[in-house]
Amino acid sequence: MARQSISFTEPNDEWLKSQVDSQEYSSKSELVNDLIRQARSQQKQIDWIKAKLEKSEKSGFTDATKEQILAESKSNLNG
């Protein structure tokens, strides 16, 4: 595992310490790694949503009603 030296602002350091003190995490490193994993997961979700939005924007407009769009969406989800 790579070792890094990082600095935290006082409020962030106090928060990290409180999380370790509450035994939620065994160390600041474990907590920081967990926060990074969460951020990476969120970024994957954001990227997926962005891709879907870009695809939708490129697909153009429709004359279908909202009911027709909903029915088609449900049909696509159900196979």
Domain borders along the chain are 10-77
pLDDT value for 11? 98
Quick: pLDDT tens for 9-52: 999 999 999 999 999 999 999 999 999 999 999 999 999 999 99
pLDDT value for 1? 84
pLDDT value for 7? 96
pLDDT value for 60? 85
> What is the DSSP annotation of 36-74?
HHHHHHHHHHHHHHHHHHHHHHHT------HHHHHHHHH
pLDDT value for 13? 97
Contact present, 20 and 27 (Cβ < 8 Å): yes
The arithmetic mean of pLDDT across residues 67-75, rounded, is: 93
